[in-house]
A and B are shown apart, each in its own frame.
Chain A
């Protein structure tokens, strides 16, 4: 264990020297949409936020002012966006079928909007499967392909519009 720490420190020192040289050469501009560094639980459902893979994006981000909070699925983000914790304008970046091209869902002045053609799958099932049962798509063809790939969980799935998805995700009022 100690040797692991020592190795890491030595590695850090070497990297440190390299990095200082690099810093002199180039000052890096901040990029607008970094992925969250630390991997956390979803603030809404408390399950782990599923990380992006090489093939597919999974992390949903809610941008509120300068905050960028990660959620496990688009249902969680839309649900939490409709709680009193998030009054006002916000943006949700929901992974689509295209790697690196999230669907940008916005709420401005209380009105929700998303690019034309956006559709959602929204099927109530165990939230363990929310990466399959709640997703955004840029087209009907992409939706159909996703449903075809998951015939058991999405047997009767119908494409939902943004308005329908927002309604589905509306947190239930206590009776």
Chain B
């Protein structure tokens, strides 16, 4: 090939094809044998019917429009998904990184006012992969209605939690297309012969997909436990992060997980977090299958059917979270320690998780002071800090404040108080100045008598009022004379480096490239 023709091809998007020798080494049908289809698959997996799912009745439906920028961003996500899929199955994959990307980006920047049905945009895809579309639709509706419930201002927290549980039961019992709530082994699912093909060959559009999934995971902690004013103000920060950064990242090692960006929600609703992560992994598997050149079209159809089955609830009947009849394989339901809503990550052990940009950590420990986070019925007491695209649960308000001060850009602090229904939600600007996200955080009072972080959950606390602070101090002689700090006073402080912090070490290198730990136990 002469140099000019090479350059023309490269400029036209052909570079991606030329730069993927491992993928283009085999022609369709000549590559490795694709994984075999399981026997005795249920008949519905081959149905050709046009089945629609519809909203469960509820006064909360479409409440997401009260946080209008979030609603519009989500509408655009639907378009982006469908446009990419349609081009993938109509012979336009070669222009995915150029024309398709530009077309999707235009929609993301000018989102539609209403959510479109993806089948009207991706009609070829919908006809060819009707069952997959049904799996996606029903899980997307669960996403949608969960968001609507959490955004509905007329419901109490308890009512919202009950309704989310009810919606989940409707999802899993009404249709056979329900995705399993078990924590699936992400290393296995992303370790198929075709895995990473889409990420490696179409990094920009893959970045968009992972950006959508970041938003669809991050939105839960924006909404959960917050009132409307807090939700709107927090989304100003999160939406900005999404539109400026997360959509266009091409340096992610792995898809965003719900437990990474909405750990409070994932801890409270692990089944839902697992359903959503498994759904997003199914998206990745389908993307990879569709662009794998050594699969024939018939093999692609089969592999999509297999991928659906791998994540179906029916395929995992009889198993429970934590079971591991096939360690490292498909039937490995262990989860990351401290986070039941997160399946095992590739090449990681349950006790150590590698988070890009933050390093190794245990999800059951505070990342600021390394002390254990509250669990079970007390899990709600964990505080959280959101900054730079991640959300971390932390053990005390000091840990949240100082962690936000050590991170570039704006941040959100979710500080629990003595009242589970009244957290103090604080916003940090890019200089670290704190303001309340709603009136209810305006009266917040802090205790901070810094000592060893072994007890930081005791000596660093937030209270809804001076009366609540006084009641706490009166019951504990060790805090007699403690000063009740206003938000302004507390916000001026900075703690020392926690005495309990230790750096968790993992295997060297990048665990997501398949060359590191191999799931071995990771020590300190």
Instruction: Collect the chain A residues with CB atoms within 8 Å of residue B480's CB.
Output: 24
B407 touches A66 (CB 8 A): no
Set A8, A9, A37, A66: member contacting B497, Cβ < 8 A: A37
User: Which residues of chain A in 1-15 are interfacial with respect to chain B, using CB atoms and an 8 Å cutoff?
Assistant: 1, 4-5, 8-9, 11-12, 14-15
Q: How far is the CB of B351 from chain A (nearest CB, A)?
A: 5
B494 touches A66 (CB 8 A): yes
Set B368, B455, B491: member contacting A37, Cβ < 8 A: B368
A12 touches B430 (CB 8 A): no
User: Which residues of chain B in 408-432 are interfacial with respect to chain A, using CB atoms and an 8 Å cutoff?
Assistant: 408-409, 429-432
CA–CA, A23 and B457, complex, Å: 13
A38 touches B452 (CB 8 A): no
A38 touches B403 (CB 8 A): yes
Q: How far is the CB of B335 from chain A (nearest CB, A)?
A: 13
A85 touches B405 (CB 8 A): no
Binds A, one of B139-147, B310-318, B498-506: B498-506
B478 at the interface (CB under 8 A from A): yes
Instruction: Collect the chain A residues with CB atoms within 8 Å of residue B409's CB.
Output: 85
Q: Mark A50-64, 1 if CB is under 8 A from B, else 0.
A: 000000000000001
Please name 25 pairs of A and B residues whose Cβ atoms are closer than 8 Å in the assembled complex, sorted by A: A1-B337, A4-B351, A5-B372, A11-B454, A17-B455, A19-B455, A19-B459, A20-B455, A20-B458, A20-B478, A24-B478, A28-B450, A30-B496, A37-B498, A38-B367, A39-B503, A41-B358, A46-B251, A64-B432, A65-B429, A67-B405, A67-B430, A67-B431, A69-B407, A70-B406
Q: How far is the CB of B398 from chain A (nearest CB, A)?
A: 9
Instruction: Collect the chain B residues with CB atoms within 8 Å of residue A67's CB.
Output: 405-408, 430-432
B458 touches A31 (CB 8 A): no
Beyond A16-B454, A66-B405, is A23–B372 a contact (Cβ under 8 Å)?
Answer: no
Q: Mark B435-451, 1 if CB is under 8 A from A, else 0.
A: 00000000000000111
CA–CA, A67 and B429, complex, Å: 10
Beyond A23-B479, A30-B450, A68-B405, is A1–B350 a contact (Cβ under 8 Å)?
Answer: yes
Instruction: Collect the chain A residues with CB atoms within 8 Å of residue B35's CB.
Output: none
B449 touches A23 (CB 8 A): yes
Other A-B contacts than A34-B402, A85-B430, 6 sampled, CB-CB below 8 A, are A1-B337, A22-B451, A24-B477, A27-B482, A31-B496, A64-B432
Residues of B within 8 A of A (CB): 251, 337, 350-351, 357-359, 364, 367-369, 371-372, 399, 402-403, 405-409, 429-433, 449-455, 458-459, 477-480, 482, 491-498, 500-501, 503, 521
Q: How far is the CB of B409 from chain A (nearest CB, A)?
A: 8
Instruction: Collect the chain B residues with CB atoms within 8 Å of residue A9's CB.
Output: 372
A15 touches B454 (CB 8 A): yes
Q: How far is the CB of B361 from chain A (nearest CB, A)?
A: 8
CA–CA, A156 and B36, complex, Å: 62
Q: Is the interface of B mostly helix, strand, loop or mixed?
A: loop
CA–CA, A32 and B403, complex, Å: 15
Instruction: Collect the chain B residues with CB atoms within 8 Å of residue A35's CB.
Output: 497
Beyond A19-B452, A28-B451, A30-B493, is A66–B432 a contact (Cβ under 8 Å)?
Answer: yes
User: Which residues of chain A in 119-139 are interfacial with respect to chain B, using CB atoms and an 8 Å cutoff?
Assistant: none
B406 touches A32 (CB 8 A): no
B478 touches A64 (CB 8 A): no
Q: Is the interface of A mostly helix, strand, loop or mixed?
A: mixed
Set A12, A20, A34, A39: member contacting B494, Cβ < 8 A: A34
CA–CA, A63 and B433, complex, Å: 13
A38 touches B368 (CB 8 A): yes
Instruction: Collect the chain B residues with CB atoms within 8 Å of residue A161's CB.
Output: none
Beyond A65-B433, A68-B406, is A23–B359 a contact (Cβ under 8 Å)?
Answer: no
A32 touches B408 (CB 8 A): no
B350 touches A34 (CB 8 A): no
A79 at the interface (CB under 8 A from B): no
CA–CA, A86 and B62, complex, Å: 39
CA–CA, A27 and B367, complex, Å: 24
Instruction: Collect the chain A residues with CB atoms within 8 Å of residue B372's CB.
Output: 5, 8-9, 12
Interface core residue of A18, A21, A38 (most chain B CB under 10 Å) = A38
Instruction: Collect the chain B residues with CB atoms within 8 Å of residue A69's CB.
Output: 406-408
Instruction: Collect the chain B residues with CB atoms within 8 Å of residue A23's CB.
Output: 449, 451, 455, 458-459, 478-479
Instruction: Collect the chain B residues with CB atoms within 8 Å of residue A15's CB.
Output: 452, 454-455, 500
A36 at the interface (CB under 8 A from B): yes
B432 touches A65 (CB 8 A): yes
Interface core residue of B409, B477, B494 (most chain A CB under 10 Å) = B494
User: Which residues of chain A in 69-118 are interfacial with respect to chain B, using CB atoms and an 8 Å cutoff?
Assistant: 69-70, 85
CA–CA, A34 and B409, complex, Å: 19
Set B364, B406, B478, B498: member contacting A21, Cβ < 8 A: B478
Q: How far is the CB of A19 from chain B (nearest CB, A)?
A: 4
CA–CA, A17 and B431, complex, Å: 36
CA–CA, A54 and B256, complex, Å: 37
Q: How far is the CB of A173 from chain B (nearest CB, A)?
A: 20
CA–CA, A20 and B496, complex, Å: 17
Q: Which 7 A-B pairs have the closest CB atoms?
A: A65-B431, A15-B454, A66-B432, A19-B452, A19-B455, A24-B478, A16-B455
A66 touches B403 (CB 8 A): no
Beyond A8-B372, A36-B406, A70-B406, is A18–B494 a contact (Cβ under 8 Å)?
Answer: no
- Name the residue of chain B whose CB is nearest to the CB of A51: B503
- Name the residue of chain B whose CB is nearest to the CB of A80: B408
